[in-house]
Structure 1
Amino acid sequence: MLASGCPALVFLLPAAAVGLGSAVMLAGVAVYRIQSRRHL
């Protein structure tokens, strides 16, 4: 299981990092838009 699990982790970890990064970026853009609407 370890031999087949390590390559899976190698591919899943970067994919998860990219997914989290994009989610955080989208959340930041949404918060920025909400704040800009409040100021306007």
Structure 2
Amino acid sequence: MNTPQIALEIMAKGMGGIFAAAIIIMFAIMILQKITAKK
């Protein structure tokens, strides 16, 4: 088992998770802005 390779995979998964979360937050903000704009 190559420890550096495992570390890189964990980092890649972490970055992917952060990226996905950022996209979800951006969509949530857009939806909230549309709802508040209608009111």
Identify unmatched segments of 5+ residues in structure 1: none
**TM-score normalised per structure 1:** 0.80
**TM-score normalised per structure 2:** 0.81
* Percentage identity across paired residues of the two chains: 14
Corresponding residue number in structure 1 for 2:18 = 21
Moved over 6 A (4+): none
Report the RMSD for the aligned CA atoms in angstroms. 1.1
Deviation at 1:9, TM superposition (A): 1.6
Identify unmatched segments of 5+ residues in structure 2: none
